[in-house]
Amino acid sequence: MGVCGAVIRGVGLRVGAVLLLAGIWWAVAAAHVWPEVFVPSPGSVWDQLFLTSSVRDGQRGYSGHLLHEHLLASLRRIGLGSLYGVAGGIALGLVIGLVPTVRALLGPLVTFVRTLPPLAYFSLLIIWFGIDETPKVTLLFVAALPPVAVATAEAVRGVHEDYLHAARSLGARRWQLPFQIVLPSALPEVITGIRVAVGVAYTTVVAAETVNGVPGIGGMIRDAQRYNQTDVVILGLLVIGASGLLIDALLQLTARLLVPWRGKA
C-alpha cells in the first residue's frame, strides 16, 4: 500500500470511529432511556451549533456572544497563559537544571505548585487580581509553567557531558553553553513539556472561566448548566475538545519540523 493509501486508511478509521460514537449516542438518545436533560440528542446539539452561532431576535448567540467569540476568548486565554508559562518554564527549568543551589531551593516549590488543583489557588488569584482577564491568564500561566519547568530541568540535567566537552574544546565559553548546547539538545523533551503544558491550560481554562467567564467556552458552559441546557453544555465540550485536538496536532507537526533528529540521535 502506498503512502496515499495509508493516509486514506488512517483518515477513514478516524472518521469511522467518530461516526460510530455518534451513532451510539443517537441510538441511546432516541431510546429515551434517560430524559433529554441528561442525554440530549445529537440533533439538538447540532441545532445549538447554529443557534449559538447566529443572531436571532436581536439576541447574539449564547449569553450575548457568538460561539466563535466564546471560543476565541478561551483560546486567547489559553494562548497567553501557555505562552507565559512556556517562557517562564523554560527559563526556570534551565536555571533549576544548571544550578544545584537553585534546584534545591525551587525544585520542591515547583512540585508543590504542580500538585495543587488550579481551582485551589484561583480564589487567591481573584483576591489579588480581581475578576477580569488577569487572574484567568495568571491561573493558566501558573498551571502551564510546572510541566515545562520540570521537563526542561530534567532534559538539561540529562545533556551528555561529551556535548559540553566538545563545545568547550571548540572554543565555546562557559556562558555560551546554555544557549548553544544545553537548550538545543534539551529541545525534544522541552517540546513534550510544552504539549503537556498546553493540555493543562486547556483543562484549566474552563475552571478559570467559572468566574466572570463570558465570553468564553467555560462561561458559556457554566451559564448553560444554570439553565439545564445540556445540549449547549455538550456543544461547549465538543468545541473545546475539537479545538484542543487541532492545536495538539499543530504542536506535533511543529515538533517534527523543529526536532527532526528525535529518536535518531
Partner 1 sequence: MRSPDEPLAVRLSGVSLVYGSRGRFPRRGGNPVEALRDIDATVGIGEFVTIVGPSGCGKSTLLRLVAGFAFPTGGQVAVSGVPVTGPGPDRGVVFQQPRLFPWLSVRRNVEFGPRMAGMPAVRRRERAAELLELVGLSDSAGRRPYELSGGMQQRAAIARALAPDPAILLMDEPFAALDALTRERLQEEIRGIWQTTGKTVLFVTHSVDEAVYLGTRILVLSRRPGRLVLDQASDLPLASDPHTHPAFTSVRETIAAAVRRSASDEEVT
Q: Please give the residue ranges that form the binding site for partner 1 (CB under 8 A).
A: 160-163, 165-173, 176, 180-181, 184-185, 187, 259-261, 264-265
Q: What is the smallest separation between the CB atom of 2 and partner 1, expressed in angstroms? A: 23
- Determine the 3-state secondary structure of 59 from DSSP: strand
Q: What is the smallest separation between the CB atom of 190 and partner 1, expressed in angstroms? A: 12
Is the CB of 60 or the CB of 165 nearer to partner 1? 165
Q: What is the smallest separation between the CB atom of 93 and partner 1, expressed in angstroms? A: 18
Is the CB of 175 or the CB of 227 nearer to partner 1? 175
Q: Which three cell numbers stand for residue 202?
A: 486547556
Q: Which three cell numbers stand for residue 213?
A: 467567564
- Whether residue 163 contacts residue 105, with contact meaning beta carbons closer than 8 Å, is answered with no
DSSP class of residue 60 equals E
Q: Which three cell numbers stand for residue 251?
A: 504542536
Is the CB of 57 or the CB of 161 nearer to partner 1? 161
Q: What is the smallest separation between the CB atom of 196 and partner 1, expressed in angstroms? A: 21
Q: What is the smallest separation between the CB atom of 191 and partner 1, expressed in angstroms? A: 12
Q: Spell out where the chain has E strands.
A: 55-56, 59-60
d(CA 153, CA 149): 6
d(CA 142, CA 139): 5
Is the CB of 101 or the CB of 169 nearer to partner 1? 169
Residues paired with 65 in a beta bridge: 62
Is the CB of 45 or the CB of 156 nearer to partner 1? 156
Nearest 10 degrees: Cα torsion 155, 112, 241, 61: -130
